[in-house]
Amino acid sequence: MKILFVNFTKFWGGGEYWTSLVMDGLKKRNHSVALFSNTQSKLHLDSQRDNIETYAFSVGKFTFLNLLKLSKIQKTLIDIKPDAIILNSNLELKTIGLLIKASGCSKVIFTRGIPSPMKMKPLKRYLFSNVVSDFIVNSIYVRKSVANVAKLLKNEPTVIYHGIDPDSIVFSECNTKNIAIIGRLSHEKGVDVAIRVMQKVLIPHPDAKLWILGDGKEKENLRNLASELGIQNSVKFWGFQQPTEVDKLLTQCSMLILASRWEGFGLVLLEAMKFKLPSLAFDHTAANEIIIDSETGFLIPEMDIELMSEKAIYLLSNPEVGKQMGEKGNELLKQKFTIEKSLNQYEKLIENN
């Protein structure tokens, strides 16, 4: 089966990492996989390296009005003749939705990982009613947020949790004072919250370190915040790291913090579970579909920085508890959040007419 992924996002984030995992997994299952991406995006470059059939276009939010660019995309779409098309977001649907309609491809899957209501303008209403055949969300939390779209769809939104390869021969012993946070350095990821948590953690554990893995526009503001709080020597900015390097660093940590103000899923929680790390996350995100509170980590209500600090201090003071939580999290990962389980669901949806 020929499956075309369309992701015009220029930056690299969890959605792009997930797209690369699914493309690679379906290719290994003998599907023919192709990608439409944005020129010079990391996803484009990585997919070329991984021998994915890749086509790059310069796409912005007004490309759907540019007939010259659209004609180039349309020609490529006709040449490829995909059996199924998987769209990353609103940008992709708006840009080539009408081209897909004209091409005659009937299996068009829209994916959503952002937990916020969608504004439904006339063009978007038309595309969801007449082009999109299936709608994938990555959590129940996200599905609830798109209730206004569901009535336009041919089928109810399908929840397919993200998954990863759960196998590893190296694990964290949860006996260091390193705390990890992973993600793009932007407001919604709440790295500033983690820094404020760290300020409180350092009172009983002055040798603790916060390891920030990621890059983004808030980097200097976050550096300044750490300096203002007087904890700059306890906060290490690692910058963007390749997945293999993230794995190595996680095994040297005792817990992971997910401090996001909103989060559609939280793929980094699965990475922590893989290496037997407990996680702390706020309960208002999809984290409560991944973490079992007080068993595989802690869910913190209402953005309570004080409580998150207390739980981090507790785990650093009781490493045996963290290790037990990490063991249980690893078991849960293997039961519920494997890439094989996710791919099985994707294949079932793609092949179901």
End-to-end CA distance of the chain: give it in Å, rounded. Answer: 13
Q: Do domains 2-163+338-351 and 178-336 have the same CATH topology?
A: yes
Give the model's pLDDT for residue 40. 82
pLDDT at residue 259, rounded to an integer: 97
**What token pair was written down for 103?**
């091409």
3-state DSSP: the chain helix, strand, coil percent, rounded to 5?
45, 20, 35
CA gap 112, 3 in Å, rounded: 18
How many CB atoms are closer than 10 A to CB 81?
A: 11
Contact assessment for residue 290 and residue 313, using Cβ atoms and an 8 Å cutoff: no
Closest CA to 31 of 92, 83, 103, 88: 83
Domain segments of the chain: what residues? 2-163+338-351, 178-336
Residue type, 72: K
Identify the architecture of domain 178-336 in CATH.
3-Layer(aba) Sandwich (3.40)
Q: Which of 3.40.50.2000, 3.20.20.10, 3.40.50.1370, 3.30.499.10 is the CATH number of 2-163+338-351?
A: 3.40.50.2000
How many Cβ atoms sit within 10 Å of the Cβ of residue 97?
A: 24
| The total number of residues written for the chain in this structure | 353
For residue 181 the two structure tokens come to 């946070």
Sign of CA dihedral 89, 117, 350, 242: positive
Contact 281, 325 (CB under 8 A): no
254 φ, ψ to 5°? -110, -15
Predicted pLDDT at 131:
96
Q: Cα–Cα distance between 290 and 260 in angstroms, integer?
A: 15
Q: What is the pLDDT of residue 284?
A: 85
Q: How far is CA 268 from CA 26, 83, 183, 189, 272, in A?
A: 22, 32, 8, 12, 6
158 phi and psi angles, rounded to 5 deg: -100, 130
DSSP state of 285: S
Q: Which residue from 76, 26, 61 is spatially nearest to 47, judged by alpha carbons?
A: 26
Average pLDDT per 10 consecutive residues for the chain, totaling 353 residues: 96 90 96 95 94 96 95 96 96 97 96 92 95 96 93 92 94 96 95 98 98 96 98 97 94 97 94 97 93 98 96 98 98 97 97 82
Q: What is the pLDDT of residue 129?
A: 95
